[in-house]
Amino acid sequence: MGHLATPMVASATVPDALTFAVSALAVLLGALGVVISRNPVHSALALVVTLFGVAVLFVEQQAHFLAAVQVIVYAGAIVVLFLFVIMLLGVDRRENIAAEPLKAQRPLAILLGLAVLAEVLVLARVQWVTGASSVAGIASGPGSNVSKLASSVFTTYLLPFEVTSVLLVIAVVGAVVLARRTPRGPAAKGEDARSAPGAGGDQARRGDPGEQDQSRQPEEEPVT
Amino acid sequence: MFMCIELMLNAANLTFVTFARALNDIGGQSLVFFVLVVAAAEVVVGLGIIVAIYRRRADTNADDFHILKG
């Protein structure tokens, strides 16, 4: 059942090395841009650069299907969702990154980053992997990457596949519940219908971010 | 802050794919597939939470959300 995983001998040609260098540079610069940018929209655009760099690296590692899925799902859907929420909430004001409420956060972050870097560099000298045999099947050889990945997902990893589909349903239901406005009771409904123009004015004064529909119940009062 | 989570997940994905090629094992790529799905679900729910919180208070700085503390 398990194949012996023979490591592939990678031949580094000049185009390979050049592609790796350019896309790795794109990934690093994009990641820096995400963290350093003051404007969240600039961060989202830098994230797109990072995701495209990672997709190119996926192609170089012979994971063609994952590169396409990465571009479509991550850069095409998730970043677009980020931008929707950024625009909806209007947080594209410039944040003051010098002010830090939790004082210990930055030194601790730098410390942990250095610790992880040291760990990676130390582990690079010792053995990377355990040498256990492969469970899912080999990645190289004849046949397309998509067919190998599909046969792996739909046979060996069928249970995680079904569980992730359930997870997606849960996520969709959760998003719908979170985005919904809770309707009020019948008594309040009568009051609000009578005072609808006033409620519309209240909403405009409160600066309600996304509410355009005047026919629905107005937003609940802020909790005191 | 959310985008940094995406950066970390991408770093893990890249590691998985690289080792899937180095060890000649397609299981690494399958795991990347599932990590991608989980990341997408997490982004959806997380942004829903942010929108729901932002309707209460006009602020999205994560360090001020200690009001959620019981």
Tens digits of per-residue pLDDT, A116-149? 888 888 877 766 666 666 666 676 667 778 888 8
CB contact under 8 A, B30 and A89: no
User: What mean pLDDT do residues A25-52 have?
Assistant: 91
Q: What percent of chain A has pLDDT over 70?
A: 61
Supply the pTM of this predicted model. 0.71
A186-216 confidence digits (pLDDT tens): 544 444 444 444 444 444 444 444 444 444 4
Q: Please give, rounded to a whole number of angstroms, the shortest distance from the CA of A35 to a CA of chain B.
A: 7
B2 against B70, higher pLDDT: B2
CB contact under 8 A, B48 and A178: yes
Residue in B14, B33, B60 closest to A153 by CB: B33
The residues near A118 (Cβ < 8 Å, ≥ 6 apart) are none
Q: Tell me how far apart the alpha carbons of residues B43 and B8 are, in angstroms, rounded to a whole number.
A: 13
ipTM of the complex in this document = 0.79
Q: Is any Cβ of chain B less than 8 angstroms from the Cβ of A148?
A: yes
- The Cα-based distances of A192 to A50, A195, A202 in angstroms read 49, 5, 12
CB contact under 8 A, B14 and A57: yes
- The Cα-based distances of A124 to A16, A39, A117, A158 in angstroms read 22, 37, 11, 33
Return the SS3 of A32. helix
Q: Is any Cβ of chain B less than 8 angstroms from the Cβ of A51?
A: yes
Q: Please give, rounded to a whole number of angstroms, the shortest distance from the CA of B70 to a CA of chain A.
A: 16
